[in-house]
Amino acid sequence: MAVRHHIIDRPPSALWAVLEEETLYGKWVVGTSESRRESGTWPETGSAITYTVRLGRKEFTGRTVVRRIDRPRALELEAESGPLGSARISFDIRPWGDKTLVLLDEHPLRGPGGMLHNTLIDAAIQLRHRAMLARLARVVESWTTESGARAGTGSAE
């Protein structure tokens, strides 16, 4: 199981402001871009977003579904990758003084990824999580003010 943690220099409300904005996923989820709502009201249980994944000149469409939400403590997603299967991605969100401690747990759930899961895959996921959590922190810290309110136009860059 690949679990990683990161402290974000904003309160949990600021993190939630970013997690609830489906168009920002492409800014912090490593390998994705152009996220958009597919169905439901994000991030309510059962709602989904789609996004583009680019590998060289190839483009693929991915889909993520909210499987569980327990504001302000947890968000659990299932990222579907077509024939490769799906993965469970769980955010455990904790107040940490005036900051937020995020614990990210991801593991293959269905398909070949789940059957071939091993420590080498976990190591690769750990590297991805390190980059993803750092990007998420940058987006949260630049997209929100200290109080957790949206800042500017929502541009994370």
Q: Does 68 score more than 70 pLDDT?
A: yes
Q: Where are the domains of the chain?
A: 2-143
CATH 3.40.640.10 fits 2-143, yes or no: no
Residue of 152 and 51 predicted with greater confidence:
51
Work out whether strand 2-8 and strand 32-39 pair parallel, antiparallel, or are unpaired: unpaired
Rounded average pLDDT over 22-37? 84
**Mean pLDDT, the chain, as a whole number?**
83
Tell me the whole-structure pTM to 2 decimals.
0.82
b/e map of 3-41 (b: 16 or more CB within 10 Å)?
ebebebebbbebbbbbbebbebbbbbbeebeebeebeee
